[in-house]
Amino acid sequence: MNVYEEVASFYERYQGAKRIIGRSREGRNLYAFHIGSMQGPQCISQYAIHGREWITGLIALYHVRRSVVCGGVWVLPLINPDGALLSEIGLCIAPKERQKALLEINKDDNFSLWKANINAVDLNVNFDARWGMGAWNLKHPAGENYIGPAPFSEPETRALRDFTLEILPNFTVSWHTKGEEIYWEFHQPLRRRVRDKLLAQVLSQSTGYPLKSVKNSVGGYKDWCIEKLKIPAFTVEVGSDLLAHPIGRASLPALLRRTLDALADLMNASQK
């Protein structure tokens, strides 16, 4: 099974609270699973917003199985299913009428490094958080870094935005590859920086990944949560830089050894 089929099959079997929060540009479901309790602090944990980072969608399913004891987490395994399938399987998953344009954008028929959605918009620069002001932002369709014609131009980012505004989580976590580091800053004032760093340190201790700063990166889900919702939000980059994109299934056991307890540890800390 491909990653989308695995998530869809898991959804059918899952006995807990679950939802379809929207659909991708090509109509694929965006699945959400709730673990833990609906009482207490709530978190949104989202994965695979970049196509070539589809391995994080499989990490998500293990996070669901692991669950949490304190509070609750909405796990969204595959925010970019079209892009993930384009990376994992190739151009054949795209409709015939899109294939020529995608080939022109990508320059060849190897889409394994594709990060964007099937509309060639990088979803993690499509949020309304200093949109279009990033150092690597592109203003034209591309396999990565294209900001789109406007913030929230894509159905995937609109679905994640709307779900987040409905849930109003206490914090969010975004799972990416690669680099084994955690980003937690986006122009917070001092008081919020102190608050946010405490939780970031919990993630760091749980995974062994250091906290890092990144400059001139804007328009991401983490950035939007911090700037607009004023909540802590974290990006966790899993997998060693020695691994090549896209990180494949053979690396999953090693990734899980570092990340399996991260959500449980974060939720335990949020109760203190």
List, for residues 140-187, the tens digit of each pLDDT value: 999 999 999 999 999 999 999 999 999 999 999 999 999 999 999 999
Confidence of residue 216 (pLDDT cuts 50, 70, 90): confident
Name the pTM for this structure.
0.97
Mean pLDDT throughout 11-28?
98
Determine the average pLDDT of the residues in 66-74.
97
Q: Could you tell me which of 53, 2, 49 has the C-alpha nearest to residue 24?
A: 49
Task: Write the CB contacts of 2 (distance below 8 Å, at least 6 apart in sequence).
Answer: 85, 88, 89
Please report, in angstroms and rounded to a whole number, the separation of the first and last CA atoms in the chain: 41
220 burial class (0-12, 13-18, 19+ CB within 10 angstroms)? buried
- pLDDT at position 89 is 98
Among 19-28, 213-222, 233-242, the minimum mean pLDDT is found in: 213-222
Distance CA 264, CA 62 (A): 12
pLDDT above 90 for 215 = no
H helix runs in the chain, sequence order: 3-13, 55-66, 81-88, 96-106, 155-167, 190-207, 221-224, 252-259, 262-270
Domains and CATH numbers, the chain: 3-31+42-270 (3.40.630.10)
In percent, the amount of the chain with pLDDT more than 70 equals 100
What pLDDT score does 271 carry?
Answer: 82
The answer on pLDDT for 96 being more than 80 is: yes
CB count within 10 Å of CB 152 equals 18
> Would you place residue 214 in the very low, low, confident or very high pLDDT band (cuts 50, 70, 90)?
confident
Residue-wise pLDDT for 107-120, tens only, equals 999 999 999 999 99
- Which percentage of the chain shows pLDDT scores above 90? 97
Position 42 scores a pLDDT of 98
For 179-189, the pLDDT digits (tens) are 999 999 999 99
